[in-house]
A = this chain, B = another copy of it.
Amino acid sequence: MTRSAPIAARGPFGQQAHELGKSARTRARLMDAATGLFARQGFEAASVNEIAKVAEVANGTFYAHFRDKEEIAGAVAFRIAEEVVRQLDAAMAEVDEAVERTSMATRRFIDLAASEPDWGGALFRAVWEFRDLREGVITYLRADLQRGVTQGAFTTEIDDVLIDTFSSMTLGALFSRLQGTHGPEAACRVAELQLRMLGVPAARAKAAAWREIPPLRLTIIPLAKGG
């Protein structure tokens, strides 16, 4: 069977593996493959055999790197979340105001996830399925919300229900984006609604949430040598 191009090697994990050993590269390819398949078909429907085929390794090889499907799902989710949080954090390093930080975080999270549907889909599923991961992301969120209270911008208590609700709103919008139900403006609208909910005056909420912000895209470093 001749397969002309090592497509799988193009994914984000594979790409960062250019100077790793063969073993790490294989692992990266498996994660790339899994990312795409989980996102497109969900965890249940993606078979290990298919992951291996897309990764262009023998199916048995999968088990040299991951104990089972569960494990690779966790690894994929963790890796994505890590990356997303890292980029989000970097992009907001110099923003102080909680109103800005909060709306930017929501908008960028959605845009980021939607810009790379494989990642976004997998991330969505992952946040859904792995409570731990959710907790991780939430830590950042809580800090920003708390900051808003301290700054006097938010007028409601930052409790667990608020955090969960805030997250649900963001994830709901992401889901609609991924489904194609709503366009890019949905992110702004949700951010606006979140600010309103937090107690930001309507006009201020609208202004902040719809303000133009420089686009952000997942940086992708091409693989030096394919496969």
Contact = CB atoms under 8 A, between A and B. Distances in A.
A176 interface: yes
Contacts of A186: 161, 164
B197 A159 contact: no
B197 A199 contact: no
B196 A156 contact: yes
Interface string A42-61: 00110000000000000000
Nearest to A176: B164
Give the copy number.
Answer: 4
Contacts of A159: 189
Contacts of A202: 155-156, 199
Interface residues of A, number: 31
Contacts of A199: 196, 202
A198 B205 CA distance: 12
Contacts of A44: 44-45
A171 B44 CA distance: 22
- List the 4 closest A-B pairs by CB distance, nearest first: A168-B172, A197-B197, A161-B189, A168-B168
